[in-house]
Structure 1
Amino acid sequence: MTGFILETEGLTKQFAGFVAVKDVHLKVREGTIHALIGPNGAGKTTCFNLITKFLQPSAGTIRYDGKDITKAAPHDVAQDGLVRSFQISAVFPHLTALENVRLALQRPTGLSFRFWKAEHVLESLNERARDLLEAVGLSEFVETPAVSLPYGRKRALEIATTLALEPKVMLLDEPMAGMGHEDIARVSALIRKVSKDRTVLMVEHNLEVVADLSDTITVLQRGQILAEGTYEEVSRNEEVRQAYMGTGDE
């Protein structure tokens, strides 16, 4: 048992001759928070798209939970618990927080196409939906339409809908984007809380958040891994400082 729940070997993606990701060997240890950082154009989002199967690699393999998923479909890996937040967190703005989470809960139960049924059909999901909302600090917003939620609370709702799929690995793409200090603190605490029972792989530009949350950091530059380790280790790496941390480039 390696302890790694997600691994890539030689992961490469070319677009019309341009190499966006080149020979990436990534190992994400189960039960940890692993951050993927680097300047714009480093290949972070392409890596996410490859891992979650929205893109097929030009070369290399991807293994998740002991299985080769290189050629798997996006919905298959999501069903197996490898979930990128936007896959199921397209929040319906005019539904309440409870209704949004309840819709997400329908997928594993086979009720996916019954959202138009009478209210009593879905009442069995209410308790679990309320529990998830409580877990992300939204108990007081149960009946609030998503469109009326403050931005940070809306991101918390997205995390609740992601949790509804019971992911083993959550992939969070810039979870702090556009947030103020108060929301960043709240969502950081939420990510730390939900990571206790699962693995988190995240792309994040806010280095304070990365330093605070991450067990391991992988630094990408021009589609390749430049360095990997703890925040203290990568922040002392002179190549990293020149390529990313010292530039101020996000």
Structure 2
Amino acid sequence: MSHDVILEAKGLTKEFEGFTAVNNVDLRVRRGSIHALIGPNGAGKTTLFSLLTRFLSATRGTIRFNGQDITRAHPADIARRGLVRSFQISAVYPKLSVLENVRLGLQRRVGSSFEFWRRESSLHGLNARAHELIDAVGLSSFVGHTAEELPYGRKRALEIAATLALDPEMMLLDEPTAGMGHEDIFKIAELIKQVAANRTVLVVEHNLNVVAHLSDTITVLQRGAILAEGTYADVSNNPAVREAYMGTGHA
């Protein structure tokens, strides 16, 4: 495994009864890049994400992160190694404030995530870093609001801040702009580009304008297998990719 490759899957396959969701996928994600997974509905994108982070066990194949075999590792162990799937595992609690949510992520990082009984004053040492992360995602004016009070796009920004609190080396984002209006989509896309400056990002995204704006490399899945891979120009001009997207509203 090359030092330039941070995450590598070989022959990754997931079979359910009578159905192959991911079929013999070879994937290499370059360190420091933004790598997008796209494909029509049912192409296997989210299943592949779940295999890479071990929320699902592969039927066959291997996964290596930073050169280490993680094929059978527990999801929590993978997160501790620095490979974190955002939105699914980030600690965002609706009744807690923005500050409290981000600080809870910092508690996880230092191994005291669930010590809810600790006095407020004992957590003040985490406040400076929490405020840095909150400012980085543009939520400084919402610091005292509870998560449930936030508009949808701001809530997604909070989820990113809580994930960044874990200090991941690589983030996996599953449809980060889903359900958003145009203005929020642009804000989240810019935020992803910003947080990717010092880490690797693998993202599933349906909005091809976002993919074109963000991605260094794009992998196109169809029926659980890789159909094409390359830059946006490469894949958007690929006849097989155009055919796969015909009638889906994405072409």
**TM bucket by the smaller chain?**
over 0.9
Question: Are the aligned partners of 2:98 and 2:147 in contact in 1 as well (CA < 8 Å)?
Answer: yes
Structure 1, 110-119 or 125-134: larger mean CA deviation: 110-119
Mark the CA change 1:157 to 1:41 in structure 2 (over 3 Å): closer, same or farther: same
Counterpart of 2:217 in structure 1 is 216
Counterpart of 1:105 in structure 2 is 106
1:20 to 2:21 alignment: yes
AA of the residue aligned to 2:248 = G
Aligned-partner Cα distance in 2 for 1:2–1:239: 32
Counterpart of 1:241 in structure 2 is 242
**Alpha-carbon offset, residue 249 of structure 1:** 4.5
AA of the residue aligned to 1:74 = P
Q: Where in structure 1 do 4 or more consecutive aligned residues deviate above 4 Å?
A: none
Question: Are the aligned partners of 2:40 and 2:248 in contact in 1 as well (CA < 8 Å)?
Answer: no
1:230 to 2:242 alignment: no
Question: Are the aligned partners of 1:31 and 1:196 in contact in 2 as well (CA < 8 Å)?
Answer: yes
Root-mean-square deviation over aligned CA pairs: 1.0
AA of the residue aligned to 1:148 = E
SS of the residue 1:88 aligns to? coil
Superposed, 1:82-231 pairs within 5 Å as 82-231=83-232
Given the two structures, how large is their TM-score scaled by the length of structure 1? Answer: 0.97
Identity %: 65
Q: Per-residue CA shift, 1:75-112, capped at 9, x if unaligned?
A: 00001110001343242111110000011110121222
Aligned-partner Cα distance in 2 for 1:249–1:57: 31
Aligned-partner Cα distance in 2 for 1:2–1:9: 16
Question: Are the aligned partners of 1:50 and 1:56 in contact in 2 as well (CA < 8 Å)?
Answer: yes
Given the two structures, how large is their TM-score scaled by the length of structure 2? Answer: 0.97
Q: Per-residue CA shift, 1:155-203, capped at 9, x if unaligned?
A: 0000000001100110000000000011011111100000000000000
Question: Are the aligned partners of 1:227 and 1:240 in contact in 2 as well (CA < 8 Å)?
Answer: yes
AA of the residue aligned to 1:14 = E
Counterpart of 1:39 in structure 2 is 40
Structure 1: where are the runs of 5+ without partners? none
Question: Are the aligned partners of 1:3 and 1:30 in contact in 2 as well (CA < 8 Å)?
Answer: yes
Aligned-partner Cα distance in 2 for 1:108–1:241: 43
**Alpha-carbon offset, residue 247 of structure 1:** 2.6
Aligned-partner Cα distance in 2 for 1:97–1:90: 11
AA of the residue aligned to 2:137 = V
AA of the residue aligned to 1:243 = A
SS of the residue 1:248 aligns to? coil
AA of the residue aligned to 1:237 = N
SS of the residue 2:193 aligns to? helix
Question: Are the aligned partners of 1:43 and 1:222 in contact in 2 as well (CA < 8 Å)?
Answer: yes
Aligned-partner Cα distance in 1 for 2:114–2:188: 31
